[in-house]
Structure 1
Amino acid sequence: MDYQQLHEALAEHHHIPASWIVAGNGETESIFTVVNGLQPRQAMIVVPGFAEYRRALSAVDCAIREFALREEDGWQLTEALLAALTPDLDWPVPLYAQ
């Protein structure tokens, strides 16, 4: 799908270049588009989480590190995530749509 008109309208509204905008038809398309564009080599995903992050990263042969949510934390992100983020990560993914 061509989103050129949408890119141009959003760029004009937000006063930014259209090349900065990525539009997609839902989460899955957007995740795969961004991953294919960035081609990360090392990434972190939150588990449990949206499986499309792993699928998209695996499709570009990216090494995947997991950050596991814990039941005792109510399955919520905690400050422990900050310690897990290291400079070798091309793409930390601290999002976890459930």
Structure 2
Amino acid sequence: MSEDMGFIEGSYRLAGGEWQIVTAFKREGVTEAEIRDGLTWESGVTGMNVIFPVDATINGTVLLNMMSEHLAIETWREVRGPDSIVLR
């Protein structure tokens, strides 16, 4: 992952839960990063969108920090999970 991505998509799972999808992207007209949680994709899998202003930097660290704050998670453990495109 580069230092600044235009779009990130991945899967995550909270302890004891199902795999979920997260997408992060930049959008014109957004002045402050926002999270839209509780989304359901066509497949029935749930997750969230994290939307950033166009001048924001998006990378793995920034995204995990936003998710950590929103979900009240202190530590993430990276594991091999399902491909988010397949989950959708």
TM over 0.5: no
Structure of larger gyration radius = 1
Q: Which has the higher strand share?
A: 2
- TM-score norm. by structure 1 comes to 0.29
Which structure's relative contact order is higher, taking Cα pairs within 8 Å and 6+ residues apart? 2
Q: Which has the higher helix share?
A: 1
